[in-house]
Homo-oligomer: A and B are copies of this chain.
Amino acid sequence: MMTDAPPRAWAEELDARDPLADVRDQFLISDPHLIYLDGNSLGRLPAATPEFLGAVVRDQWGGGLVRSWQEWIDWGHRLGDRLAEHVLGALPGEVTLADSTSVNLYKLAAAALDARAERGTIVLDAHDFPTNRYVVQGLADARKRSVLALHSDHDTGLDLDLLRSALDQDVALVVLSLVSYRSGALLDMAAVNQLARQAGALVLWDLSHAAGAIPISLAETGADLAVGCTYKYLNGGPGSPAFLYVRRDLHATLRQPIWGWFGQQDQFEMGQDYDPVERIDRFLVGTPPLLSLAAVDPALTVIEQAGLDRLRHKGTALGDLVIELARQWLVPLGFRLASPARAEQRGSHVSLAHPEAWRICQALARHADVVCDFRVPDRLRIGPCPAYTRFTDVWDALDRLRKLVAREEYRRLPAERARIT
């Protein structure tokens, strides 16, 4: 640990040596003064997206009209196979894109519960993202199961010993986020999958804060089920369709509750009774939002070219810089690190706790051109995105942050929180 904060020249040096430096040019960055550290909420716009989407709209929709469905019908799978290969470490045919993360979580959790009908418990992390907890609560309520919410240190992530002790013969399903939306804590997927397998439970992973930032090995770790969103580190655009993964040997047996025509055998034969295909398609429901789906294509190309190992390498270095600067500059101003300190236990974002985090976050955006994120009750979430965040961005952002806090500029803002943060 350094005794002084690294100077800006050090960040400049890191940028100069960054093999991913020119990936930033593959994004449209309209305001060069703005430092964007919220790509873990909504990733930036890839430079190729407007033209790609424009062609889909004008040529395929406007020109091809309904005939373009001949091509569109396979996009979910084509993008799914690319995600499987380059992002998720899954096999062809195990991933597709559809619906929202929440809806996919519902479908796969329900399918898992029905496949473990004799077991009464669903295990989750008490600190998991709200929608994951709510979806599980809803399913438990409808299916008369109980929810066991594990409470461990919010900032360092779920304690595996706690999980181990919870996993008995009554556990049907474990629902966990690979990277915590709040603290960025990264779980050991292989270890969790193994623990659950030994107990005969299925695991459903939410990969939203990991996909595109962390190399993931669904196949290698024997993962059962996963969902995740494509609009964070994958830069697919606001609300772009989520992915879902089901290990191939589970396709034949798992059955999800929303019996839609996109899951039907010979969909356009429109048979009288629902008879789901034995492919990943059985987890589809209705017509996908094609324009939002289309925007995932050029975005994924950027990530594929950058490569997950290089993105992860840079991501940990960016996170380490956040933490080092925070220790030197921000802890003395009343901040506390609310993320794992060690890079290998962390995703790509870092959380800092401060009692005035809400006002500081607002003031940063308004007065210092730094966009990061607030999470209840007192967290500032700093999300450098290795595809386009520079080391000097991190240095400058934290420099602006410390000056703003030192001058107490945020106190000019109302303390009450607005609806959206």
Kindly list chain B residues whose C-beta atoms are within 8 Å of the C-beta of A42.
61, 65-66, 69
A62–B28 contact, CB under 8 A? Answer: yes
Contact of A137 among B45, B237, B274 (CB under 8 A): B274
A31 to B67, CA, bound (A): 14
B286–A67 contact, CB under 8 A? Answer: no
In the complex, how many angstroms separate the beta carbon of A146 from the nearest chain B beta carbon?
Answer: 14
A376–B269 contact, CB under 8 A? Answer: yes
In the complex, how many angstroms separate the beta carbon of A113 from the nearest chain B beta carbon?
Answer: 11
B41–A62 contact, CB under 8 A? Answer: no
Q: Decide: A419 near B138, CB < 8 A? Known: A61-B42, A131-B261.
A: no
A238–B286 contact, CB under 8 A? Answer: no
Kindly list chain B residues whose C-beta atoms are within 8 Å of the C-beta of A3.
none
Kindly list chain B residues whose C-beta atoms are within 8 Å of the C-beta of A135.
258-260
Q: From A98, which residue of chain B is reached at the shortest CB distance?
A: B100
A57–B45 contact, CB under 8 A? Answer: yes
A30 to B63, CA, bound (A): 6
Kindly list chain B residues whose C-beta atoms are within 8 Å of the C-beta of A81.
none
Kindly state whether residue A106 has any CB partner on chain B within 8 Å.
yes
Q: Decide: A261 near B67, CB < 8 A? Known: A42-B61, A53-B291.
A: no
Q: Decide: A61 near B103, CB < 8 A? Known: A258-B138, A291-B295.
A: no
Kindly list chain B residues whose C-beta atoms are within 8 Å of the C-beta of A238.
61, 68-69, 72, 287, 290-291
Kindly list chain B residues whose C-beta atoms are within 8 Å of the C-beta of A419.
73, 268
A65–B38 contact, CB under 8 A? Answer: yes
Kindly state whether residue A44 has any CB partner on chain B within 8 Å.
yes
Q: Mark A44-69, 1 if CB is under 8 A from B, else 0.
A: 11000110011001100111011111
B45–A53 contact, CB under 8 A? Answer: no
Kindly state whether residue A273 has any CB partner on chain B within 8 Å.
yes
Q: Decide: A289 near B240, CB < 8 A? Known: A28-B62, A69-B42, A103-B260.
A: yes
Kindly state whether residue A133 has any CB partner on chain B within 8 Å.
yes
Kindly state whether residue A302 has any CB partner on chain B within 8 Å.
no
A286–B103 contact, CB under 8 A? Answer: yes
A69 to B131, CA, bound (A): 18
Q: From A31, which residue of chain B is reached at the shortest CB distance?
A: B63
In the complex, how many angstroms separate the beta carbon of A29 from the nearest chain B beta carbon?
Answer: 8
**Which residue, A126, A274, A373, A376, has most C-beta atoms of chain B within 10 A?**
A274
A287–B62 contact, CB under 8 A? Answer: no
Kindly list chain B residues whose C-beta atoms are within 8 Å of the C-beta of A371.
65-67
Kindly state whether residue A410 has any CB partner on chain B within 8 Å.
no
B259–A137 contact, CB under 8 A? Answer: yes
B61–A57 contact, CB under 8 A? Answer: no
Kindly state whether residue A306 has any CB partner on chain B within 8 Å.
no
In the complex, how many angstroms separate the beta carbon of A397 from the nearest chain B beta carbon?
Answer: 14
Q: CB within 8 Å of B: which of A111-152?
A: 126, 129-131, 133-135, 137-139, 142
**Which residue, A63, A289, A365, A417, has most C-beta atoms of chain B within 10 A?**
A289
B289–A289 contact, CB under 8 A? Answer: yes
A287 to B227, CA, bound (A): 14
B130–A287 contact, CB under 8 A? Answer: no
Q: From A256, which residue of chain B is reached at the shortest CB distance?
A: B138
B65–A57 contact, CB under 8 A? Answer: no
B102–A258 contact, CB under 8 A? Answer: yes
Kindly state whether residue A293 has any CB partner on chain B within 8 Å.
yes
A50 to B101, CA, bound (A): 27
Q: Decide: A53 near B44, CB < 8 A? Known: A237-B290, A260-B134, A371-B66.
A: no
A268–B421 contact, CB under 8 A? Answer: yes
Interface CB pairs A-B, < 8 A, 8: A36-B65, A53-B53, A61-B238, A68-B238, A102-B261, A106-B258, A269-B376, A291-B295
